[in-house]
């Protein structure tokens, strides 16, 4: 699952879920749940969630309940918290299904110049342009993780290099 949407505006879904969290986390969770029977039927399955380093910006004591409060978090804090939620979800998938040979991992492909980044006007900033990589190079990280078969070692992807720990 890839490419998430970062919104500067706050809104709730009809179900009372913060919209960005609904799109970028609950949607991924539900999609994975729907695919799980097919994934389990595979001989060797991988779940790769494309994520972001933004989870590093989550402050100690941040609570997921704050996502529904329009005044509690700014856009970056909300986005960072949902990126952490995706990593925690992926780690839990890996823990629950490793014995069934389903491997789940998260990766950060770096700053990729995509349609989504253009839509959010990120590519207009000089900082983004100077540090972003092409979609082709961003895909290398995804492809490499998909090709690597490891059982109980974590795969950490950084700067399009794979470090096994």
SS3 letters across 6-52: CCCCCCECCCCCEHHHHHHHHHHHHHHHHHHHHHHHCCCEEEEEECC
Residue reference for tokens 């993780």: 145
CA 60/CA 58 separation, integer angstroms? 7
pLDDT of residue 102: 86
- Alpha-carbon torsion angle 142, 25, 8, 78, nearest 10: -100
* Average model confidence (pLDDT) across the chain: 71
Q: Residue 120, Cβ neighbours under 10 Å: how many?
A: 15
pLDDT of residue 2: 44
| 83 vs 123 pLDDT, higher one | 83
Mention every residue, 6+ apart, whose C-beta is less than 8 A from residue 6: 20, 75, 79, 120
The helix or strand, by DSSP H or E, that contains position 158, with its residue range, turns out to be strand 155-158
| 14 vs 62 pLDDT, higher one | 14
Q: β-strand 102-107 against 161-164: which pairing, if any? A: unpaired
pLDDT of residue 42: 83
- Average pLDDT of span 21-34: 89
Instruction: Based on the residue annotation, tell me whether 97 is a catalytic residue of this protein.
Output: no
The one catalytic residue among 4, 49, 73, 79: 79
The helix or strand, by DSSP H or E, that contains position 129, with its residue range, turns out to be helix 126-131
- Average pLDDT of span 50-75: 78
Work out the percent of the chain whose per-residue pLDDT is above 90. 10
pLDDT of residue 54: 67
| 34 vs 110 pLDDT, higher one | 34
Q: pTM of the full predicted structure? A: 0.67
Coil, strand or helix: which one is 106? strand
């Amino acid at each position: 699952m890839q490419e998430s949407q970062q919104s500067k505006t706050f809104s709730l879904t009809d179900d009372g879920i913060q919209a960005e969290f609904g799109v970028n986390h609950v949607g991924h969770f539900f999609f994975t749940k729907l695919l799980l029977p097919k994934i389990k039927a595979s001989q060797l399955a991988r779940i790769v969630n494309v994520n972001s380093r933004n989870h590093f910006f989550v402050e100690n004591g941040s609570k997921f309940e704050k996502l529904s409060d329009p005044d509690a978090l700014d856009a970056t804090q909300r986005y960072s918290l949902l990126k952490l939620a995706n990593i925690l979800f992926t780690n839990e998938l890996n823990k629950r299904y490793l014995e069934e040979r389903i491997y789940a991992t998260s990766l950060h492909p770096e700053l990729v110049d995509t349609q989504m980044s253009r839509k959010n006007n990120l590519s207009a900033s000089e900082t983004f342009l100077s540090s972003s990589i092409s979609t082709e190079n961003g895909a290398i990280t995804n492809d490499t993780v998909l090709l690597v078969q490891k059982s109980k070692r974590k795969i950490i992807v950084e700067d399009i290099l794979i470090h096994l720990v």
